[in-house]
Amino acid sequence: MPSTPDISHVAGLLSDPSRSAMLISLLDGRPQTATELAQRAKITPQTASLHLSKLVSGHLISKEVQGKYHYFRLTDPNVAHAIESLIAISPPSKIYSLREADEDNALRKARTCYDHLAGRLGINLAESIVRKGYIDISNENYRVTDDGKEFFSDFGIDFVKLKRRRRKFIHPCLDWSERTPHIGGALGAALLDRITELGWIDKKASQRAVRVTELGKEGFRNHFELSVD
């Protein structure tokens, strides 16, 4: 008889507010030190260090030592996907200041979800791609059409190389702020890489929120018929 997966261990690791705050901070895919994560979770570095060691032993995050710095990151996109899904079914956190409200608005507008684009921009981009017939939705799954293959190749994405990767090629990733899926998987990551490379978005070093540049506004309009304010 197949054994039942034990989700209680992972759920236990996620159940602490400090640990979940650090995991959410790691959602942008950027490696961060224990001290940075401690600031995010509003705890001391020593406490953060303890929590991080538990998350490492639970295989939710991995650690890379570079000199005196210890960089932590999510182990793989599946962890990010799981956290985003939990955020989608969680009640919104209370906002106490104008700064928090601004950050929340910026995140809802456009942000990275581990290694792909999310927020209203991510949703609108996915909807535009579907509308143009580059991606087909069947049984709530994404499939790239022949037109899509041609379009993504023209857009500068190496489709063949992407297909060879062991990672899931494309999947709908539920957006916690919009409750609508955006494009996840290897193609979602490649899209974000290409958009960043083209200078369409500006990723701030310490934030998940991204800003669309003037070049990006033009690019999204010309390639995806998207008007970004």
Binding mask 11-50 for DNA (x = CB under 7 A): ----xxxx--------------xxx--x----xxxxx-xx
DSSP 47-95: HHHHHHHHHHHTTSEEEEEETTEEEEEESSHHHHHHHHHHHHTSPPPP-
Binding mask 96-115 for DNA (x = CB under 7 A): --------------------
Q: Which residues of 47-60 are buried (b: 16+ CB within 10 A; e: fewer)?
A: ebeebbeebeebeb
Q: CB of residue 18 vs DNA: minimum separation in angstroms?
A: 4
E strands in 154-222: 171-174, 181-184, 201-203, 210-212
E strands in the chain: 32-33, 61-66, 69-74, 111-113, 116-118, 135-138, 141-144, 171-174, 181-184, 201-203, 210-212
Strand duo 111-113 + 116-118: pairing: antiparallel
Pick the closer one to DNA by CB: 50 or 130.
50
Compute how many residues bind DNA; rule: CB under 7 A.
23
Residues 6 or more apart from 223 whose CB is under 8 A from it?
A: 155
Pick the closer one to DNA by CB: 2 or 67.
67
Q: CB of residue 205 vs DNA: minimum separation in angstroms?
A: 15
Pick the closer one to DNA by CB: 51 or 223.
51
Pick the closer one to DNA by CB: 43 or 87.
43
Q: CB of residue 55 vs DNA: minimum separation in angstroms?
A: 11
Residue 110 to residues 31, 98, 123: CA-CA distances in angstroms?
Answer: 20, 19, 9
Q: Which of 9, 57, 59, 69 binds DNA (CB under 7 A)?
A: 69
Pick the closer one to DNA by CB: 15 or 141.
15
Pick the closer one to DNA by CB: 83 or 195.
83
User: Under rule CB under 7 A, which residues in 49-68 are in contact with DNA?
Assistant: 49-53, 63, 67-68
Does 149 interact with DNA (rule: CB under 7 A)?
A: no
Cα separation of 186 and 82, whole Å? 16
Binding site for DNA (CB under 7 A): 15-18, 33-35, 38, 43-47, 49-53, 63, 67-70
